[in-house]
Structure 1
């Protein structure tokens, strides 16, 4: 069970969106906060990302930057340029001019934020992955395919874009965690701790099972106390607290994406009683499962 992929799948809502735009210096473009993970890929030229607080981030050709929580920001061709436009639907994708040309692929990956996940919560507001010829070949490859499809749409492009965007976000997150090197805490450490990742895979693979910490410890090859200590230090909460979180995220996805009967959803996330499941779900989401399913959760329109 791939914990990173399972996590993103569980909190995803709808399909990712993206668009290309080209500007000639001078230019400045503002981006509002979005309900999910935003991203930019510099296909040609260079620019600066201006965060609401903190230092500007220089972006060069091939760089990828993620906003895991959709942070507000601006892009400018140089630090002296003024923001004169806001990302919005219907705007021209290319504006000609005498200055240096920049081309960017921008988009958003919608996530259900009613119940968060610590994997994304611990990431910085801006995850910058500079281009490097010897690093992240998978990420570079999917970016090149995306750029080609966007620059010259053909038969099948509409179907190809969403899975390519999903792969790009997953590869970017994987690259970020791998770049952290040896870590003592956080999800970067969880992914490299054999005992913790074994427990996570077990819970992700069978959320319906009535796991106990001794069972998870035996499966991971460590004592109950050792697993509890290492799990809390990396994941940020005890194993059974995380199990409840994962069950609720899984249930929410099933309610959003399927017509599975409520009793079946309850059993698939470890509750033999539909009443007990409904009570636990309402405690986390503020709505009974049936209300959550009927709620109009139309995806927000995101300008890219």
Structure 2
């Protein structure tokens, strides 16, 4: 696994939700904050996004926008401000019910894809945490070709459910999320994690740790894997990632343990072996120090959240 795949996998919950919206006339809808990420892609016409606490964002044909932290927002056909949003916006789910399937495409003023990803934000990877509240990816000729291809495939799949759609749709939605994050990483000039993954030494070390987190890593062994001296690795890795290599590995092992406790019935002993701990006791001690609860309680709480 690579860092981006792992960062998404550990927080991803269940199947994403998606919808193709066709609407016309004047409209204004609000979505309250939630645990997850949301997206919009404008296929026809234009609209405006007003994130809570942020400036309105105009969206034109082909524009994609990701709200990676579930920021509350208003989406509307006009340049909305906070006062107008409070007065005119209807709850998003109600708006979807009111517009129904919409008219034929020849009469639509606005057409867009929208959706949600459910995320467990209790142990989010710093790469995901670093994403801004709004990732706006304007449609520019020749840019983000993979993202554009995924959008076309998703739009076609939502137009007409074909055999295999139950697998194709969530897979395409996951692909869309990956491509939106990739696009942000190629465009941002200030993110720490794009810099870390763009640095050959730090990227090699991260790749090694994520490929085999249970291995008996040491600073010397990791430096050899990255092809540099131990001081060079420590300096570059710590500067770009924000913590030393072995501290990052400890944290990542515990994040993986939490994911396995949530998603599998594996025993604590089996999980300890999979994430590089010599015994269930050693894992339990480290887990409680990181999360403030025992692995057993964590698993029970995760099951309760999933049932609710």
The alignment's TM-score, normalised by the length of structure 2, stands at 0.89
Question: Which residue number corresponds to residue 22 of structure 2?
Answer: 22
Distance 1:214 1:111 in 2: 36
The aligned residue for residue 150 of structure 1 is 158
Corresponding residue for residue 87 of structure 1:
92
Q: CA RMSD in A?
A: 2.1
Conserved 8 A contact 2:10-2:124: no
Query: Which residue of the partner structure matches residue 268 of structure 1?
Result: 274
Given the alignment of the two structures, is residue 196 of structure 1 paired with residue 202 of structure 2, yes or no?
yes
Aligned equivalent of 1:169: 177
Contact 1:40 1:106 in 2 (8 A): yes
Judge which range, 282-291 or 200-209, deviates more.
282-291
Instruction: Count matched residues.
Output: 296
Matched, 1:213 2:219: yes
Q: Which runs of 5+ in 2 are unaligned?
A: none
Distance 1:163 1:169, change over 3 A: same
Report how far residue 100 of structure 1 moved. 6.3
From 249, 257, 261, the counterpart of 1:251: 257
Instruction: Pick the structure with more helix per residue.
Output: 2
Is 1:112 matched up with 2:117?
no
Runs of 4+ in 1 over 3 A off after TM superposition: 80-83, 92-96
Deviation at 1:95, TM superposition (A): 5.7
Answer yes or no: is the 8 Å Cα contact 1:34–1:108 preserved in 2.
no
* Match of residue 179, structure 1, among 169, 187, 201: 187
In 2, the alpha carbon distance for the partners of 1:174 and 1:253 equals 23
Distance 2:269 2:119 in 1: 26
| Per-residue deviation, 1:12 | 1.3
Asked if 1 retains the 8 angstrom alpha-carbon contact of 2:260 and 2:271, the reply is yes
- CA distance in structure 1 between the aligned counterparts of 2:241 and 2:91, rounded to whole angstroms: 37
Distance 2:216 2:5 in 1: 23
Q: Is the 8 A contact 1:45 1:103 kept in 2?
A: yes
Q: Which residue matches 1:277?
A: 283
Deviation at 1:281, TM superposition (A): 1.6
Distance 1:146 1:275 in 2: 46
User: RCO (CA 8 Å, sep 6+): is it higher in 1 or 2?
Assistant: 1
Change (3 A) 1:206 1:271: same
Q: Shift of the alpha carbon at 1:250? A: 1.1
SS across alignment from 2:74: strand
Structure 1 residue runs of 5 or longer lacking an equivalent are none
Choose from 286, 293, 297 the match for 1:287.
Answer: 293
The equivalent residue for 2:63 is 63
> Which residue pairs with 2:4 in the alignment?
4
TM-score normalised over the length of structure 1: 0.90
